[in-house]
């Protein structure tokens, strides 16, 4: 299967074997995977895995309003638990404004070691202010969004699960919408990369059939579920 389907990962092989009535662990499949020749130098993925608890990513995305204004949303994502540790909205992003967001988002005793960003001119020389916090910048290679994949995926999630379903009126309204979504995202939204847990660690509450309550959030756009006794 590895040879016939070189793009398949171990989970796909495990699933395919399961359909043949063969139950096998993912680790066993990987054990017999053909070894491929490659560079012995550390890869970008290795860097991310080794420093996941020390990494944050930053990026901008746009949110148009009902009056055709364009708002810029700045987000900061901590890699380890996929937490959005800071966001802000502005109509006129500048290098000074962006640098101030970085300084304000971390208490002096809580700064992460690495900050991943693209090489956009919006960051400018003023980003050197973060050196006082002991943060090292990791600037992505040009045209390589995959190097900031976690925050790119986050932006896609915010679009698909929120902004594609609402009409933004103004800057204040967009901030309110994002805050409402984050109140759901952190304690309730499950992530495959977190072993189907939420960023804030969601406890398992056992429920019997017919004993589940639906709780709407984000103005009814999303829901979470609890046993009636919870």
* 28 and 100 fall within a common domain: no
CB 190 within 8 A of CB 197: yes
Pair (15, 71) in one structural domain: no
Q: Are residues 21 and 133 in the same domain?
A: no
In a domain, 215, yes or no: no
Residue 83 shares a structural domain with residue 150: yes
| Judgement on whether residues 20 and 134 belong to the same structural domain of the protein | no
173 and 64 housed in the same domain: yes
In a domain, 228, yes or no: no
Q: Is the same domain home to 101 and 150?
A: yes
Give pTM, 2 decimals.
Answer: 0.75
Looking at residue 84, the DSSP 8-state letter turns out to be: E
Domain boundary among 159, 174, 192: 192
Same domain, 32 and 140: no
**Number of domains within the chain:** 2
Same domain for 117 and 59, yes or no, is yes
> 80 near 111, Cβ under 8 Å?
no
Asked whether residue 122 falls in the same domain as residue 28, the answer is no
Among candidate residues 61, 57, 63, the one with its CA nearest the CA of residue 102? 57
At 30, list the tokens.
Answer: 């990987």
Per the CB < 8 A criterion, the answer to whether 130 and 99 are in contact is yes
| Domain housing 89 | 46-192
Q: Which residue from 171, 160, 156, 173 is spatially nearest to 89, judged by alpha carbons?
A: 171
Q: What CATH number has the domain bearing residue 181?
A: 3.30.420.10
What is the residue-level pLDDT of the chain in tens, covering all 230 positions? 777 776 678 888 888 888 878 888 989 988 887 766 555 445 666 767 777 888 899 999 999 999 999 999 999 999 999 999 999 999 999 888 988 888 787 765 566 788 899 988 888 666 666 777 778 888 888 888 888 999 999 999 999 999 999 999 999 999 999 999 999 999 999 998 898 899 999 998 887 777 889 999 999 999 999 888 76
């Amino acid at each position: 299967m590895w040879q016939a389907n070189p793009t398949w990962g171990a989970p796909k092989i495990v699933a395919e074997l399961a359909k043949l009535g063969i139950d096998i662990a993912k680790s066993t499949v990987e054990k017999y995977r053909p070894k491929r020749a490659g560079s012995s130098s550390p890869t970008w993925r290795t860097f991310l895995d080794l420093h996941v608890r020390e990494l944050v990513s930053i990026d901008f995305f746009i949110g148009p309003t009902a009056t055709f204004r364009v708002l810029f949303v700045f987000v900061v994502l901590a890699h380890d638990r996929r937490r959005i540790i800071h966001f802000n909205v502005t109509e006129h992003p500048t290098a000074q404004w962006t640098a101030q967001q970085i300084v304000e988002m971390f208490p002096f005793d809580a700064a992460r070691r690495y900050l991943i960003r693209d090489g956009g001119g919006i960051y400018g020389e003023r980003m050197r202010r973060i050196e006082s916090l002991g943060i090292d910048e990791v600037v992505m290679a040009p045209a390589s969004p995959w190097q900031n994949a976690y925050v790119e995926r986050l932006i896609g999630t915010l679009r698909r699960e929120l902004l594609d379903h609402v009409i933004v009126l103004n800057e204040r309204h967009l901030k309110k919408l994002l805050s409402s979504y984050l109140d759901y995202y952190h304690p309730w939204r499950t992530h495959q990369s977190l072993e189907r847990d939420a960023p804030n660690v969601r406890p398992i509450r056992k429920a019997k059939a017919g004993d589940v309550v639906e709780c709407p959030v984000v103005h009814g756009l999303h829901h979470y579920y609890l046993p009636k006794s919870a």
